[in-house]
Amino acid sequence: MNFQRTLKSELTCQSVGLHSGRKINMTIKPAASDAGILLVRKDKNYKQKIKVSLDNVTDTTLATTIGNNGTAISTVEHILSAFSGMGVDNAVVEVDGPEIPIMDGSALPFVEMLKKVGTCTQEKLKKYLIVKEPVYVSEGESHAMFVPSSSFEITYKIEFGHPAIGVQSYHLKLSDETYAQEICSSRTFGFLKDVEYLQARGLALGGSLKNAVILDETRIINKEGLRSPDEFVKHKILDAIGDLSLIGMPIVGHFIAYKSGHKLNAMLLKELLEHQENWTTATVLDIQESYEELNTLDVPSYKILDAVHV
């Protein structure tokens, strides 16, 4: 886990795009150390590789979109979540359409494919971003924050006025194992009235019961029901893991969110980067020293409690 990782060999898959409704072919290839995650539109400029980074986020409406020089790829959060959750630092993702294929609406198919081809360590050490001081953003009643921690932790709370969802919260210490066992199978979800509204306007054209949990006014309409009782909040965590990976390195800190989404997740990363006194970077060789420093920090518990409206 100390060294950067990439795929042992390339993999391919096909599925529809959630918003475009088009069949999309995707190939994921190994990449060199320090390359990061690179995206390629094979139906556009095949030679242009778009680096996955906060600077290249062009839209956060309904999904996270990465673009550069007029070329963009949307709905990247699930594959980025799988990479982050499984510790993959470097890869090239090629698609022949405008978005990443939705698969079953979760990151499970990506995780299964990554496990099948396997990953390998590379010659360079990972670099970590270590949160040293709390950072907070809000918009309306939604808010998100980072506080120091000796690992990457997530505490997430959602609240919907729907009888099948209500209030859900979940806490996770991220590792390959916890991601695969607890998070990656959680599917995206939406409300039937919203899906019909979006499809009437040319959006969510690929959405179906095969790739999303759909709710009408009172219940879940998928015959198979939920994969876990807290699948809704777990999917929000899945999305957040993908969004937070836009910072370009693993995070050592505690992400705490209440009703957050793609836009607010990106806002928090920008706020963090703008205050360099609140974070530092380290490799695994000197990260223990940073842990010891973190243990001396006193973060008032009320700040965490307020952040999640406990």
Catalytic residues: 262
Q: Is 19 annotated as a binding residue?
A: no
CA–CA dist 90, 173 (Å, integer): 22
User: Which value, to the nearest 10 degrees, does the dihedral of the CA atoms of residues 221, 82, 29, 252 take?
Assistant: 160
Q: What is the 3-state secondary structure (H, E, C) of the chain?
A: CCEEEEECCCEEEEEECCCCCCEEEEEEEECCCCCCEEEEECCCCCCCCEECCHHHEEECCCCCEEEECCEEEECCHHHHHHHHHCCCCCEEEEECCCECCCCCCCCHHHHHHHHHHCEEEEEEECEEEEECCCEEEEECCEEEEEECCCCEEEEEEEEECCCCCEEEEEEEECCHHHHHHHHCCCCCEEEHHHHHHHHHCCCCCCCCCCCCEEECCCCECCCCCCCCCCHHHHHHHHHHHHHHHHHCCCEEEEEEEECCCHHHHHHHHHHHHHCHHHEEEEECCCHHHHHHHHCCCCCCHHHHHHHHCC
Q: Is 254 annotated as a binding residue?
A: no
Q: Is 78 annotated as a binding residue?
A: yes
Binding-site residue positions for Zn(2+): 78, 235, 239
